Amino acid sequence: MRRFFGKIIDHRLQLDDEELNHLAVLRLGEGDQFIAICGDEYEYVCQIKSVDKKHIDYEIISKNLCQQNPKYDITLFQEVPKPEKLEIITQKITELGAKNLILFENEYCAFKPSANKLLRLNKITVESCKQCQRSIPVKIHDVVSFDDMLNMLDDYEKKFYDIVKTK
């Protein structure tokens, strides 16, 4: 079943214009069902009641706990890589079950993500959620300094390090 990302506003599920457009492009019609995810631990099975050129009316049939959400609280601290690598990392950690991504910079970073880049990364996590069937996207935190990252590590019980030496 197709998955679409929405929001719960005033106890009603709302899909944004981009998702509604995607629904229309797929030619889903009256009686078709889809799954809506809203960033919480549930997935909402919805059925389309009616479709016209500018509006799709649907109702929630059931609300189920999403079984594909991560069972563990995994946070990845990642030095800021080049933009194209950051997008791949974001996609893959979503699929692997991480909950948080904290980017840190040091003296060798040549790139610092802008607000627009962080919005793009959030969009990538939503798309990855649809693909791997989880309902909670990875939370992408603001970029921190190397020293701040080291201080943040104290909050974690288990830590794994991967240090790559470059030539």
- Chunked in runs of 10, what are the mean pLDDT values of the chain (167 residues)? 88 83 86 92 92 82 93 92 90 95 86 86 93 94 92 89 70
Q: Are 37 and 66 spatial neighbours (Cβ–Cβ below 8 Å)? A: yes
pLDDT for residue 23: 85
pLDDT for residue 167: 60
pLDDT for residue 129: 93
Same domain, 23 and 61: yes
Q: Which of 65, 85, 108 is the last residue of a domain?
A: 65
Q: How many domains does the chain have?
A: 2
Same domain, 92 and 141: yes
How many C-beta atoms lie closer than 10 Å to residue 33's C-beta?
A: 14
pLDDT for residue 95: 93
Instruction: Show the domain range for 42.
Output: 3-65
pLDDT for residue 21: 85
pLDDT for residue 165: 64
Residue 35 lies in a domain: yes
Quote the distance between the C-alpha of residue 51 and its chain's center.
28
pLDDT for residue 166: 64
Same domain, 81 and 109: yes
